[in-house]
Structure 1
Amino acid sequence: MPPPTSPVVAGWELALRLRERRTELGIDVGTITQRLNVSRNYWSMVENERKILSEENLAEVVELLEFDEEDRAELFTLRIRAKERGWWTKYPRLFDAEVLRMLGLEFGAQEIHDYENLLIPGLLQTENYARAIMTPAMTVRKVEVEQRVQVRMRRQERLHGDSPFKFNAMISEAALRQQIGGPAVQREQLEHLAMLLETRRDNISIRVIPFTATSCGLFGAPTLHLLDFDNPWLPTLAWHETVTASSIIDDRTQVHNITETYHDAAREALSEDDTVEFIRSCIPA
């Protein structure tokens, strides 16, 4: 089954198709702004997904850009979907706009490749592990910690259900060894990982890069996601996250380089079968 509808993905596709069609026909921005009687800044926000055209203005644009009937119908459907509200929009005080956009993209993804250096991927974390990561942040109120844990668990719903996405996690051995929250929390988390690998291989893959690996282009890299979509209009996107910054990468050259590095690193990772055994060997007694 296709992934669920995401307003963020719909808005992205709508903006992308309008921008690419305008470029293909060689129509400058001035021609469009004059036709719609809007400012260049307004149209810039449309092409950068910060504004959704009114139905009337979209009708003007699709006529100017000479879309055929099938494309027109698709674009109007995308406009309707883009105006819906995803569950993540309930948390504007917890996350900035870029993180909220990532949550929307993740919700509508078909497949995700993830790399983690020091932590278990958020989509595979237990509640106690997630809470332990967030608790030391003294600037975060307890209620906000619980809301962030709630969001993390909500994200994991896309791993299950009728249309789960494929999740490929590649993690450093360090993520297994670090006793986040203490031995009891670590034990619960590692048992959870082993269980997922043993029962959910249809859509969850976990592979460990051991300390014995002699080279890897991802050594020292931050958290990385590669998001793929089932729609041929939509290219792969990358997400990277550090302690102080996070952002979506849509430059196709950069995404290609990250993808190549990721797949090259996979050659240093243990197989899924060996990873299960390795995870179990790391579980505290």
Structure 2
Amino acid sequence: MAPESPTIAIWELGLRLRERRYLLGLTATESGRLARCTQAHVSEIERGRTRATKDKLTRLIKAYEFDADETAELWKLHEHGGQRGWWNKYTGIFSNELLRFFGYEHGAESVRTYSGGLIPGLLQTEEYIRAVIRGAAPNLRLSEEELRVTARKTRQQRLAGDDPLHLTAVISEATLRQRVGGIAVLHGQLEHLMTLMEQHSENLDVRVIPFTAGGFDALDGSSFHLVGFASPRLPTLAWQETITSTALIDHTMTVREYTLAYHQAEERALDREESLRLIRDAAKELS
């Protein structure tokens, strides 16, 4: 199983409370009265953005008439949600939304990534990471840069272990040519990418969209990720990154649009062996 994540525990707890509320035909305002809180707070709990207090959860469980087994499961999720993930120590440098994404990614079964400009973060070398950070924030203090590098390297640990993350990355050929950090850094990054593809052949698939491919929906868009989970209770989430903002997306229809865009990009990509060949050729050109 994927590692336990308090972020996912809080989210699943909220989803199950919302499902029960819908089943009973209650509004969020009515549930807020039962829990002695505002409608907005109920919504935050149901979306997994905040952890319910013991008092509020006790009132909701009683009002929603959960049976003994379901109640035990909810309290177990509440307990797990109170633990600290590795990402909690980075609250001073990352937004709450990004920290939540780290929590979802940590406990995910799979991630499908599209990137048209940079090698995805889970596959970056340390030198490439530093070049990306310095390009985005040239005046960043060295101490914060070190923390950001450490956080990204910690995220990368999910590619290994007993139950590794299954990552499929669809990237444009431009990512192989953009000289982030200079020729030496890019060359090292491409060599690293090939090594990862060989070492993690069972859980890592990198697919390259060549310049010769036709147009597709995501071509002029930003990078995004589709995060999937082992539990059938948990829907797929989307994570989008732009120049000015980042966002976790849980709206079903919006996630569906991202999924369709991802599949279209994947259809334009080369297969695994052809992609590896293109990466190898790009690295040779830098030698």
TM-score by length of 2: 0.95
Amino acid at match of 1:201: S
Question: What's the CA shift string for 1:40-79, capped at 9, x where partnerless?
Answer: 3433332233432333432331222122222211111000
Q: Tell me, what secondary structure is at the counterpart of 2:139?
A: coil
Question: What's the CA shift string for 1:214-270, capped at 9, x where partnerless?
Answer: 122211121110000001111000000011111011110111111112112211101
Question: 1:120 aligned to 2:98?
Answer: no
Preserved contact between residue 35 and residue 57 of structure 2 (Cα < 8 Å): no
Question: What's the CA shift string for 1:93-148, capped at 9, x where partnerless?
Answer: 21111111111111011000001111000000000000011123223111111111
Residue in 2 that maps onto 1:9: 8
Q: Tell me, what secondary structure is at the counterpart of 2:72?
A: helix
1:61 to 1:272, Cα distance in 2 relative to 1, 3 A? same
TM-score by length of 1: 0.95
Preserved contact between residue 89 and residue 100 of structure 1 (Cα < 8 Å): yes
Unmatched tracts of structure 1, length 5 or more: none
Q: Over the residues paired in the alignment, what is the CA RMSD in angstroms?
A: 1.4
Question: 1:61 aligned to 2:63?
Answer: no
Cα distance in 2, alignment partners of residues 282 and 109 from structure 1: 32
1:238 to 1:36, Cα distance in 2 relative to 1, 3 A? closer
Cα distance in 1, alignment partners of residues 61 and 183 from structure 2: 59
Preserved contact between residue 10 and residue 77 of structure 2 (Cα < 8 Å): yes
CA-CA distance at 1:82 after TM superposition:
0.7
CA-CA distance at 1:207 after TM superposition:
0.4
1:173 to 1:85, Cα distance in 2 relative to 1, 3 A? same
Amino acid at match of 1:251: H
Cα distance in 1, alignment partners of residues 240 and 27 from structure 2: 33
Preserved contact between residue 238 and residue 249 of structure 2 (Cα < 8 Å): yes
Preserved contact between residue 222 and residue 242 of structure 1 (Cα < 8 Å): yes
Cα distance in 2, alignment partners of residues 187 and 23 from structure 1: 54
Question: 1:158 aligned to 2:158?
Answer: yes
Residue in 2 that maps onto 1:242: 242
Preserved contact between residue 3 and residue 108 of structure 1 (Cα < 8 Å): yes
Amino acid at match of 1:267: E
Residue in 2 that maps onto 1:282: 282
Cα distance in 2, alignment partners of residues 223 and 239 from structure 1: 9
Preserved contact between residue 6 and residue 83 of structure 2 (Cα < 8 Å): yes
Residue in 1 that maps onto 2:269: 269
**Greater shift in the superposed pair: 215-224 or 267-276:** 215-224
Question: 1:73 aligned to 2:84?
Answer: no
CA-CA distance at 1:30 after TM superposition:
4.4
Q: Tell me, what secondary structure is at the counterpart of 1:135?
A: helix
**Greater shift in the superposed pair: 168-177 or 217-226:** 217-226
Amino acid at match of 2:87: W
1:268 to 1:55, Cα distance in 2 relative to 1, 3 A? same
Alignment map for 1:201-216 (pairs within 5 Å): 201-216=201-216
Preserved contact between residue 118 and residue 175 of structure 2 (Cα < 8 Å): yes
Aligned pair count? Answer: 284
Question: 1:187 aligned to 2:187?
Answer: yes
Identity percentage over the alignment?
42
